Amino acid sequence: MHRNLSALFAVFALLLFVPLALAQGAGVEVKNAWARSTPAGAKIGAAYLTVQSSAGDRLTGASTPAAQTAQLHTMSMEGGVMKMRQVDGIDLPAGQPVTLKPGGYHIMLMDLAQPLKAGQSFPLTLTFAKAGSQTVNVTVQNVGAMGPGGQGGMEMPGMEMHHH
């Protein structure tokens, strides 16, 4: 009798945890959240990250105690001029990683509570249309960083960097 009871308990425990695992699998994964350090007195910063939704979703907003306002922005070249504008959301196609990076989509941090210093980190809460909210830890890199590793130039296969 005792053995049957523990087997029943094991099955019950499995039934409890399987839906939880499936719910997480259908959600959103956020990786490599980082920001560049800002000079003293700076009131604006930016955060970058890679996000992937297994089922497809839309990033609709962000907030952080590190800044008064966090907005989704995009940068694009128009007639040889780099233009930045706010967007109301960033589509996340199912199963495809979307990277927010310098020169593309990013999260603009307005009215910083204090300058972002290399080596520090801060929480950033992302809001998704389907997956709800998720808080990630953003690591502050050096001012010239191009990626989460903090190095000046991020190695990307097939992409060459030219300095003029």
Of 100, 91, 96, nearest to 147 by C-alpha is 100
- Whether the CB-CB separation of 27 and 53 falls below 8 Å is answered with yes
The CB-side HSE value for 99 (13 A sphere, CA atoms) comes to: 9
Main-chain phi, psi angles of 88, to 5 degrees: -90, -5
Question: DSSP label at 129?
Answer: T
pLDDT (0 to 100) of residue 95: 94
pLDDT (0 to 100) of residue 12: 53
pTM beyond 0.85: the answer is: no
CATH topology of domain 24-141: Immunoglobulin-like (2.60.40)
Q: Which residue has the higher pLDDT, 33 or 161?
A: 33
Q: Give dist(CA 147, CA 4) in Å, integer.
A: 54
Q: What is the pLDDT of residues 60-99, one digit of tens each?
A: 999 999 999 999 999 988 888 888 999 999 999 999 999 9
Domains in the chain: boundaries: 24-141
pLDDT (0 to 100) of residue 3: 60
Of 117, 100, 125, nearest to 47 by C-alpha is 100
Q: What is the pLDDT of residues 16-35, one digit of tens each?
A: 544 444 344 458 999 999 99
Q: Is the pLDDT of residue 59 over 60?
A: yes
Q: Give dist(CA 18, CA 10) in Å, integer.
A: 12
